[in-house]
């Protein structure tokens, strides 16, 4: 899935979301793998800024996305005009500005 000259980014929220289950299950091996992934120097970890929250509010209001999903979409849109957005959740199709890639 990696393309030359393509940047990969996640929201800070992704770190929280990925760590919940392994923390609950005390799965230190999975936590270590996530921590290693999140520490990659070629991965942009985008902050949840006030601009992201404002855009997420609009997305939540007008698309019906759940709050965490609205934050994820708003983060992507803050980074790029037409970002490629990889997910397994078809509800993100409600955000026309995302170049959605659904995993099956």
> Total domain count for the chain?
1
Residue 81 burial class via C-beta count within 10 angstroms: exposed 0-12, middle 13-18, buried 19 and up: exposed
Residue 17 lies in a domain: yes
CA distances from 19 to 16, 26, 33, 97 (A): 5, 10, 10, 28
The residue segments making up the domain with residue 30 are 8-102
**Would you write out the chain's pLDDT as a tens digit for each of its 104 residues?**
555 667 899 999 999 999 999 999 999 999 999 999 999 999 999 999 999 999 999 999 999 999 999 999 999 999 988 899 999 999 999 999 999 999 98
Q: What is the CATH number of the domain that holds 20?
A: 3.40.50.1010
pTM: 0.87
């Amino acid at each position: 899935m990696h393309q030359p000259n393509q940047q990969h980014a996640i929201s800070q929220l992704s770190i929280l979301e990925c760590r919940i289950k392994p923390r609950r299950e005390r799965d230190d091996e999975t936590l270590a793998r996530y921590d290693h992934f999140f520490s990659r120097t070629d991965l942009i970890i985008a902050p949840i800024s006030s601009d992201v929250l404002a855009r997420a509010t609009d997305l939540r209001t007008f698309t019906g996305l759940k709050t965490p999903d609205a934050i994820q979409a708003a983060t992507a849109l803050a980074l790029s005009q037409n970002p490629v957005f990889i997910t397994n959740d078809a509800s993100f199709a409600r955000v026309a500005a995302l170049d959605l890639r659904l995993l099956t």
